[in-house]
Structures are given as structure tokens and as C-alpha cells.
Amino acid sequence: MAAQQQKRNIVIVGGGIIGCTTAYFLTRHPKFDPAQHTITLLEASSIAAGASGKAGGLLALWAYPECLVPLSYRLHRELADEHNGAERWGYRQVGCGTIGAVVKNTDLKARGQGTSASTTSDLKEPNGTTAAAPNAHLPIQAEDEKISKDWEKLPKQDVAATSLLSKSVLPPDLDWVDASLVRSWDVMGRRGETETAQAHPFHFTNAMADLAAAKGVDIRLGAKVTNITSSSSSAPNGRVDTVEYQDRNNNDEIKSITGVTDVILTAGPWTGKILPRSKIEGLRAHSVVYEAEVSPYAVFTDIELPSDWTPEHRRVKGQKRKHRGHVDPEIYARPFGEVYACGEPDKTIPLPETADQVQCDEDQCNDLISYIATVSPILASAPVKAKQACYLPQHVRFGEERGPLIGQTSTPGLWIAAGHTCWGIQNGPATGLLMSELIFDGQTKSADIDKLDPKKFKV
């Protein structure tokens, strides 16, 4: 009991959804005492500057890992009820499913999107073969590699999720997709697990930060952590003791927090930079945000495109298509007059030092816009308010994604909650609640997350 009531000086590293929900739930734990417990959150740029501000915000009972999902989905609803989430961060239920669509050259011509056939049909060699278009030798990056490359999905749907698809007809209110092109509509879910909801990730993350700050959490922005040290002389068994950070708002002055009892690493993909043995990596993903008010659906797509079609922005550069005729962007209607869409991931640009330095490849965003325009005339004419990129945090072992790490590392007082891939917003509340239980109770009470224990992976 004495250990549970000891004074704690807790430092959270990272101001994304995991860090902010952890701060929130620490201040709501029954044993939290602001007279004895100090909580500081250090964020290298701004709240929700990375994936937490540029994600889709999908919440689903069919998400993964199963040990987190039911608890977190319930907590989302409870948080929205308690803090007016419907208005504050757009919490709501949405329909969800996958469309299979076939787009032909005639469909594209009818919309004035054209086809690469028009630029190559007149370039016939004497033997009947098609000559290269002007400047076709110019690479996208490595042209041969890109032409033969299959479209890559974001890791949103695992095998278990795909098995939940059940056939249905296209809902009549899903009127922002061209029904004449749709060959199939599969609803996501099964009895008791059909629910899908959403939250606007940027607003939700900032709301959690504000609510934590209102309970006494000291949030320091522009604070890039540079070192975490332990002291065997001032703390037993080499416990964490000091956190040093670079104050980017004050001429990069190095500052430190001493007497630290607990450090919680919630820095998303940057967790791997702070603690390399965690094997947390970043997977870059591009997305676009439209200004459009449409019916509330999250739509996964499987779009078959003409083999000779190239988006206009590629064609004018003499570039060829970069897929084999199938693409599957994800499109989410969102509250506040938005539609969010994301495309395939890539690892072409290494993770930068901070979230505000993330580079966006505009051509990849334009690819996404072009593909979506083939099946949605409404979005084809909608203004695009953002083209952006972020890095999804993955826990990778032996080349495979292993799910998040949540718990204490082999260093006493050093905790980790990172590696949530696409499901950080969905699983943020459960992670925050479970971290508060680990800190104040020494064990989790709300869910069994033994398989996510960092020590199982020698972290």
C-alpha cells in the first residue's frame, strides 16, 4: 500500500492520441492525488501533429488487437457521453462496407477524365506495337518497378476483419458513390459486431489534452526528448531518474526534469528513435481531406481501372501508371463537412526528427484524388482542403507487424505504449486507461493484455 501511495513524478513522452489519453486517464484514476503526483507531457511539436491528427478516426468492434478493442470502443462512447463528444470531436455512428467497382474507358471519357489510350493510340510502330509516349522514359521513381508494383493496402483490415464481410445491396443513401459502377457491396460485421463509429482524430486528441491539462497535467510543446537516464545511486535498481529535452521554442536550450519516477513512451513511430530496442518503426501514409457534406459512411474500395489509363497529372509528365489496374483507397465521410481518404503506404522517405518535418509527396495525393474521382463525381468536384502525410507506428519483429507494446520495459520505471498502426485512435482510450492502472495499481484490471507485454519482446 505504501508503494501505491508514494509520490510520483510521471513524464509522458509524446502528444499524440496515446499520450493524451494516458494523461487523461491518469488524472481520472481513483488514486491520483495532485498534491502528491506530478504529470508532465512532453511533445516535440504540437498536439496531434503526427498520425493522431492526420488519421481517419474510424472506430470499430472488428478492429484489432482483440484484447483492446471492446474496452476501447466502449470507452469512446462513454467519453463522448461525458464530454459532449458529438459536438466537440464529432463522435457518431457510421455505416461501413466495401465496394467492388469496375471503371471502363467509356466511364472516364464521359466525365472528361480521359484515358492514356488517347495519347498512345496514334503512336503505332509499323509492326503494330505501341511506341513509347513522349518522355515515357522519365521515372516516377524507378519506372519499371512502379509499373509492375501491386497496390498496397494500409493494414486496416486483417484476415479476421475481412472474414466479417457479408453481402448486401448498396444503401440508397450512399449516394456519393456512382452506383452504376458498383458490382458489389459487402457490409462489415457480424451479429453483435457490426457497429462502426468515428471521431475526428485531431479534435478528439486535443480534447483529451485539454481535459488532462484542466486536471493539472503540465503540457510542454516544442519539447523534444533527447535523453532518459537512470541513476543507481539515487534510485534503486537503476530506475529512471532524469529526462532531458530540447526546448525548440527557446533557442533549443537543453532542459531537464529530475526526480522522475516513471517515464511513459507514447511517441508513436518516434518511440523507436528514443528506445531502439522497442523496434517501433514508421510507415508513411498519404491522405487527402475534401470539403464535402455527405452521408455518414466509411467505404473501403476495390476499384478496377482500365489497363491503359493514367491519371492526368502523371500523363502530362510522361509518366505511366503505377499499379496493375486495381486500387483500393479508403474513404470516410466525417463530421464538420469533411471527407477523408487515404491511400497506400510507402517507406521511401525515412522518419524525420519531428512530426512537423514530415514530407508529403503531392503526386501520391493526386493519385488518390484521381482514383477516387473515377467512382465519385461528387468528390471529383469537391474542394480539397488538405494533402498530407504521416507515419503509422508499427512494432515490427522478424519482418512482421506484431501489434502494440503496452507495459513496463526491462528498465524499472520506463514504460511504453506504442505501435498501434492504423488503430491508434480506436485503441487510444483503452491504452490510456490500462496505463493508468499499471502505474497506480501495478496491474491491469480492465483487460488482459499480457501478450502485449514489452518484456516478452525483450524491450
Q: What is the pLDDT of residue 414?
A: 97
The tens digit of pLDDT for each residue in 365-422 reads 999 999 999 999 999 999 999 999 999 999 987 666 678 999 999 999 999 999 999 9
Q: What is the pLDDT of residue 158?
A: 57
Q: Outline which parts of the chain fall under CATH 3.50.50.60.
A: 6-92+195-278+396-455
Per the CB < 8 A criterion, the answer to whether 453 and 407 are in contact is: yes
6-92+195-278+396-455 folds as FAD/NAD(P)-binding domain (3.50.50)
Q: 258-269 as b/e, with b when 16 or more CB fall inside 10 Å?
A: eebbbbbbbbbb
Q: What is the pLDDT of residue 374?
A: 95
Report the C-alpha gap between 2 and 17 in whole angstroms: 31
Average pLDDT over residues 125-137: 32
Q: What is the pLDDT of residue 118?
A: 37
Q: What is the pLDDT of residue 153?
A: 54
Q: What is the pLDDT of residue 435?
A: 98
Determine the length of the chain. Answer: 459
Least confident of 138-152, 211-225, 271-285, 369-383: 138-152
More confident site: 435 or 124: 435
Per-residue pLDDT for 135 more than 50? no
Q: Outline which parts of the chain fall under CATH 3.30.9.
A: 94-99+280-394
- Model pTM above 0.85: yes
Q: What is the pLDDT of residue 294?
A: 97
94-99+280-394 folds as D-Amino Acid Oxidase; Chain A, domain 2 (3.30.9)
Distance of CA 217 to the CA centre of its chain: 25
Report the C-alpha gap between 159 and 236 in whole angstroms: 45
SS3 272: helix
Q: What is the pLDDT of residue 127?
A: 35
